[in-house]
Structure 1
Amino acid sequence: MGTRQTKGCAPGEAPPAAPRKRPAPRDRNDFLTSLVAKSGEKVARGGGSLAPYHHRVGLIQDMLLLAKQGRQEEATELLRHLRQDLGMESTSLDDVLYRYASFRNLVDPITHDLIISLARYIHCPKPEGEALGALEKLCRQLTYHLSPHSQWRRHGLVRRKPQACLKAALMGKPPDNTVDLSGIPLSPRELERVAAYLERSAAHVAAVELCFTELTDEMLLRLLPALGALPRLTTLSLNGNRLTKAVLRDLTEALKDPARFPSVTWIDLGNNVDIFSLPQPFLVGLKRRCPKQGNLPTILEFGEGQPGEHEGQDGAVESREEPQG
């Protein structure tokens, strides 16, 4: 009896290997969520509290899942929680849909616009086809905006350790006059290295990116002397951290002194714990430093205007009145 041959193979040849099954493409929303989850686990192991974006990204993903399942009421409830967590005053979904709400979260108009667009789809029956695609896209955009994954990719944090990224960022002259530490979690001990680098490079620094660095009020106050002494600093990004409205008092006091932050034109404080509006003295301090920039936007507090008046593009009721110095 001869040797049994595999069909399609010549005698003496090994049978072809079975074709490997290609894994299903990973959904981008799932990928972003997994990155955020891993970051949260690291912070939790270190005994620290999580920055608010972890909770907000989780709400977005849960809301998308409920909407896909046609569980409209539950998805709407999560949207309400998300709006409240982001400081959007209205609790009525109809107010959001018809743009009659008065939003105080001046610091992050992009989120407002995405939330308003998202509400239209959540408020409708189970989305299908193009509507489902639009809903997924909005959730992806909101996740992208409220989480640091783009900074992680830019610094290579997905594959590299944060300490290595920080060391590389604090070497030599800042590229494009920007000190970009966004997405790199900072510890209190590392703040001394950052402050020392800012002092050494003060003549070259025009922008400082500290978004999604796990900054707390106490940590920012430790950096404030070095930041305020930068003569060419124009923009300071502090969004996506664990800052509270209590730190606004110190920032406002710093802006009252013309010698501190002499060239700054904007400080981004969005997506923090509870900083939903900026006090007028804060805006006046910025206005004095950049009078040619034009009127700084402010938002009417609820009840100051009639619904529909001074309606902005993002649905917020805006006032373009110039702050009085």
Structure 2
Amino acid sequence: MGAKQTKGQDSAGPSPQHSWKRTPTKERGGDILASLMLKSGDRLNRSGTTPPPPYQRRIGMIQEMMLLAKQGKHDEATEMLKTLRQDLGMESTSLDDVLYRYASFRNLVDPITHDLIISLARYVHCTKTEGDSLGAMEKVCRQLTYHLSPHSQWRRQGLLKRKPQACLKAVLSTPPASGTLDLSGIPLVARDMERLSGHLQRHASAVVSLELGFTELTDEAFLLLLPTLAALPRLETLTLNGNRLTRTILKELTDALKDPSSFPSVTWIDLGNNVDIFSLPQPFLVSLRKRCPKQGNLPTILEFGESQASDAPERARQLGQTVS
């Protein structure tokens, strides 16, 4: 959390200069929407039985929504945005509910995502006839795609293409650089946890930040790692975004944080873009507050005005400074 957002790698071509068309409701059906929602994940995972990570499904929905908008299929684009909002935990279906109920972002796991979704809701529900409207919507889609998917520099470094074991072995062969152990983008399974735990224990006094974003981490694997993480004396930030974690993990973390001896130095745990973790319980936030009483605000309880919806990338940078 806190990485400055730039344009994603999946940008489409120039925006067409035409108005959006209304498609008769009778031409829209649940089967079509279901196929759109699953298409991206199916393409990436046809050979196996394990479903794709949540972020792949969500990126697929963003791409399909933009395609529908460019084709002038306004109603289908609206339905796709509704499905995406629900998948991200924004259960409301009306624009008013999205704008006003979620405007403060109080207790949300990922306020940046919700801010960008609000911007998309404005463009979809308050469409203009000029092509500039589609261009602005496309820009927000690129920002949201970048925010929800593994960052482009990981792809350039080849982390997502190398053999997972080779990547893990390389990273764990040396002490953490500058207090940061970064395993972002390297798929991890339960059998990797013993090796990772041993490395963390050997360098416990040096680990300040642990990056486990987009590692395919499951509840089972994380629970094996949790006792080691809780015992790290200097760990301040733990990044777990973009994985397969569920609310079961949130409960375990909340219970662990109630013990002052667990996670003694932690100031932030990023759980965004997982399966069904959309908000943080008060005991979780209160426990973090007790560990960093001098910090003015925690990222999840900052209040953002609706008029700031277009400034999400800048606030992402500010949030990064807040938790650093």
TM range (shorter): 0.7 to 0.9
In structure 1, the partner of 2:137 is 135
SS in 1 for 2:101: coil
In structure 1, the partner of 2:69 is 67
SS in 2 for 1:292: coil
**2:81 matches 1:79:** yes
Deviations 1:45-85 (Å, cap 9, x if unpaired)? Answer: 45423221111111101100000011111100110111111
- 2-structure distance, mates of 1:158, 1:131: 34
- 1-structure distance, mates of 2:287, 2:218: 23
Whether the 8 Å CA contact 2:183–2:213 is kept in 1: the answer is: yes
- 1-structure distance, mates of 2:304, 2:233: 37
Structure 1 residue 285, shift from structure 2 partner: 1.1
The residue identity in structure 2 corresponding to 1:100 is Y
Match of 2:10 among 6, 28, 36: 28
In structure 1, the partner of 2:93 is 91
In structure 1, list runs of 5 or more residues that go unmatched: 1-26, 31-36, 301-309, 316-325
Structure 1 residue 280, shift from structure 2 partner: 1.0
In structure 2, the partner of 1:304 is none
Structure 1 residue 133, shift from structure 2 partner: 2.3
In structure 2, the partner of 1:23 is none
Instruction: Give matches, 1:64-213, under 5 Å.
Output: 64-96=66-98, 99-102=99-102, 106-125=108-127, 128-150=130-152, 152-153=154-155, 155-213=157-215
Structure 1 residue 164, shift from structure 2 partner: 2.4
With over 3 angstroms needed to count, the CA separation of the structure-2 counterparts of 1:240 and 1:180, relative to structure 1, is same
With over 3 angstroms needed to count, the CA separation of the structure-2 counterparts of 1:38 and 1:92, relative to structure 1, is closer
In structure 2, the partner of 1:312 is 305
Whether the 8 Å CA contact 1:87–1:104 is kept in 2: the answer is: no
- The structure that is helix-richer by fraction is 2
Structure 1 residue 40, shift from structure 2 partner: 7.3
Which structure would you say has the larger Rg?
Answer: 1
In structure 1, the partner of 2:256 is 254
With over 3 angstroms needed to count, the CA separation of the structure-2 counterparts of 1:143 and 1:211, relative to structure 1, is same
SS in 2 for 1:236: strand
Query: How many positions carry a matched residue from both structures?
Result: 273
Q: Percent identity?
A: 67
- 1-structure distance, mates of 2:11, 2:70: 14
Whether the 8 Å CA contact 1:184–1:213 is kept in 2: the answer is: yes
Q: CA RMSD in A?
A: 2.7
Structure 1 residue 311, shift from structure 2 partner: 6.3
Structure 1 residue 132, shift from structure 2 partner: 2.5
TM-score of the aligned structures, taking structure 1 as reference length: 0.76
- 1-structure distance, mates of 2:120, 2:111: 14
Q: In terms of mean alpha carbon deviation, does 260-269 or 192-201 score higher? A: 192-201
With over 3 angstroms needed to count, the CA separation of the structure-2 counterparts of 1:71 and 1:164, relative to structure 1, is same
SS in 2 for 1:293: coil
- 2-structure distance, mates of 1:93, 1:156: 40
With over 3 angstroms needed to count, the CA separation of the structure-2 counterparts of 1:198 and 1:46, relative to structure 1, is farther
TM-score of the aligned structures, taking structure 2 as reference length: 0.76
The residue identity in structure 1 corresponding to 2:10 is R
